[in-house]
Copies of this chain bind each other. A is one copy, B any other.
Amino acid sequence: MDMKASVIGATGYAGVELLRLLDGHPEAEIAVITSESSTGEAIASMYPHLSGRIEKNLQSMQELDAIAAASDVIFIALPHGHAMKIGKQLRGSKTKIIDLGGDYRFKDYHVFEQWYKVKHEDPEAQAVYGLTELFRDKVRGAQLVANPGCYTTCSILALVPLLKYKLIEAQGIVIDAKSGTTGAGRSLKAGSLYCSVNESFKAYGVASHRHTPEIEQIYSEFAGEDVVIQFTPHLLPVDRGIYATCYAQMKQGVTDAQIEEAYQAMYGDEFFIRLRGKGVCPELKNIRGSNYVDLGWQTDKRTGRIIVMNCIDNLVKGAAGQAVQNMNVMFGIDETAGLRQLPLVP
């Protein structure tokens, strides 16, 4: 019998991507979908690509307990600050929760409060950080999963093997990341207009983006020491995708073979991580619409650095896809269920 999955905040880009993936999932069915700003409206009238397939009306999330009762799992796809209220209210419920926002991503809730400038209302929650490939065992038993951010997933996966096996210096890391425009969300801002983004490119949130401490937290965990990084996001004129170009100083004497081994050791058996190997630059389009992670790298003898290039679809592996992957793990089914679509190329 299918799992009943509800989506709180179904009209944002991550929410609607969840609907796309859940619709194609062989063992899930969509239960309740909510939107506070469009309560009562048909999702297919807002998103006509869903017509004839997802013919449901949006509900309010006010009746949270009833929604939980009707659901095996609830996905929360809201701006930060909301999930902690929902998580608190549903504590002890048998419904599993996967939050796509920032509320539960930090071990130390003070870090959240410092970077998000909001008081945490559910600091005692026991959430598991849902970067599936790294924390699969914990996700398996989790009641509450904090799904990682999009830049975060891409950046973390890029360098964790090198930190874990101590092949790079833990300090001096620079991550220059570029995101498709769905990453800016669906709210109406002049900067998100077609004529603002098209034929343009820019950095933003330099030295202040909230995904920074999230990346540092996991890097530090694997490095066994505090890691401070330089993280710079940019806005790309494409719909989807994150491309992270990561710079790190190699430790003395590290060989290409050691690097390749580190990646193989951690990711060699991972379905969704495709190791392109040395000298290969992955391309954003080759992962579009899929849950794949395409990773390549190059070393530079002149500088002693390794440059790791990693890319994902921000709405799939960077949000809804990884959320479904976590759901699969939490419910003990095939981790790739509903996520085997090949990238849409061209």
Interface residues of A (CB under 8 A from B): 13, 16, 20, 23-24, 47-53, 172, 174, 176, 178, 181-182, 186, 188-190, 192-204, 206-207, 228-230, 232, 234, 236-241, 243, 245, 247, 271, 274, 276, 281-290, 292, 294, 298-300, 302-303, 305, 307, 309, 311, 340-346
Contact between B194 and A198, CB atoms less than 8 A apart = yes
Q: Is the CB of B195 within 8 A of A239?
A: yes
**Are B237 and A194 in contact (CB-based, < 8 A)?**
yes
CB pair A181–B194 under 8 Å, yes or no, is yes
Complex alpha-carbon distance, A299 and B232, angstroms:
12
How many angstroms from the CA of A176 to the CA of B176 in the assembled complex?
7
Whether A192 and B189, one on each chain, are in contact in the complex, defined by CB atoms closer than 8 angstroms, is: no
> Which of chain B's residues have a CB closer than 8 A to the CB of A237?
194, 198, 236-238
> Judging by beta carbons under 8 Å apart, are A230 and B305 in contact?
yes
Which of A271, A294, A309, A346 is packed against the most chain B CB atoms within 10 Å? Answer: A346
**Bound form: Cα–Cα A200–B180 in Å:** 9
Residues of B within 8 A of A16 (CB): 345
Q: Is the CB of B274 within 8 A of A245?
A: no
Give A245 to B16 CA distance when docked, in angstroms.
Answer: 29
Contact B284 A199 (CB under 8 A): yes
Contact indicator A230/B20 (Cβ below 8 Å): no
Across-interface contacts of A207 in B (CB, < 8 A): 298-300, 302-303, 307
- Complex interface: chain B residues within 8 A of A232 (CB): 176, 245, 307
Q: Are A186 and B176 in contact (CB under 8 A)?
A: no
Sample (6) of A-B pairs whose CB atoms are under 8 Å apart: A13-B195, A176-B232, A199-B284, A200-B283, A228-B303, A230-B307
Interface residue from B194, B198, B274 paired with A51 (Cβ < 8 Å) = B274
Q: Which residue of B lies closest to A181 (CB)?
A: B194
New contact pairs (11) apart from A24-B341, A228-B303, CB-CB < 8 Å? A16-B345, A48-B283, A174-B176, A194-B194, A200-B286, A202-B283, A203-B245, A206-B281, A206-B300, A229-B303, A236-B236
